A and B are shown apart, each in its own frame.
Chain A
Amino acid sequence: DGGITQSPKYLFRKEGQNVTLSCEQNLNHDAMYWYRQDPGQGLRLIYYSQIVNDFQKGDIAEGYSVSREKKESFPLTVTSAQKNPTAFYLCATRWGGVENTEAFFGQGTRLTVV
C-alpha cells in the first residue's frame, strides 16, 4: 500500500540525549516536511525538503536537524539543544507537480522527555 510511515509511534528520551524520528514514504512524492504540534497551537514547520540532497529550515528549526539522502526517507533528529522537545511530530509529503495538491501526513510520533 502507498503511504507514509513514521516510527516509532511513542518515544521517550532522557534530557541531554539526541533522538532520531523516522519518516519513510512510498508515494513517490518529491516534497517532504516535518511539523511539530503542541496543545493549543497549530502545526509549526520545522524543516522541509523539495528534492533529494536539499532541505531548508522552517519556522522553528533550532535544535533540530534533518537529512534527505533518499527520496523515500526524511529523518528528523531532535538534539539536546532543543529546549522543549516534548511534542507530537508529524511528517508530511506532497507531490510537487501541480500547485493544488494537498499534503499527506504520517501517523505521527509522540516524543516525551523524561
Chain B
Amino acid sequence: GQNIDQPTEMTATEGAIVQINCTYQTSGFNGLFWYQQHAGEAPTFLSYNVLDGLEEKGRFSSFLSRSKGYSYLLLKELQMKDSASYLCAVRERTGFQKLVFGTGTRLLVSP
C-alpha cells in the first residue's frame, strides 16, 4: 500500500516563496504528481516527477528524491490567486497505474 503525508495548511505573503512538502511510502513507485485545486473546483495538473531532481515550470518547481520518499512543490512570486489546495499524488507501479492522493495542503496567500 501507499502512505502520503502533507502539511494540512500553510500561510504565506504575496510575493514570497513557499515550499510544500510531501513524503510517501510505497511498495512500488512510478511517478509523483502535483495538482492545484481551488475550492469546489476540479484539480488541475501542475507537475510530474519520476526521476530524482528538480522540474521547473515558470513560477512553479517540483523536486523529487526517490531514496528519501520525498518531494516538494516550490511556488515563487506568490500571487493571491495561488490560494488553493495543493495535492500530492503517487502513481503505483502496477498494471493499472493507480494514483494515490495525499490529503492536500491548503495554502492561504495574504496581501
Question: Hey, which bits of chain A sit against chain B, CB under 8 A?
Answer: 31, 33, 35, 40-45, 48, 50, 56, 58, 88, 90, 94, 96, 99-100, 102-108, 110
Contact = CB atoms under 8 A, between A and B. Distances in A.
Contacts of B45: 102-104
B43 A105 contact: yes
A18 to B, nearest CB: 25
B103 A99 contact: no
Chain B interface size band reads 20 to 34
Contacts of A42: 4, 87, 100-104
Contacts of A56: 96
Interface string B79-90: 000000001010
Contacts of B89: 43
A11 to B, nearest CB: 14
Given A42-B100, A102-B45, 8 more contacts: A33-B99, A42-B87, A42-B104, A90-B42, A99-B97, A100-B50, A102-B48, A105-B44
**Chain B CB within 10 A, most for which of A58, A88, A105, A110:** A105
B92 to A, nearest CB: 11
A107 B42 contact: yes
Interface string B22-55: 0000000011010000001111110010100000
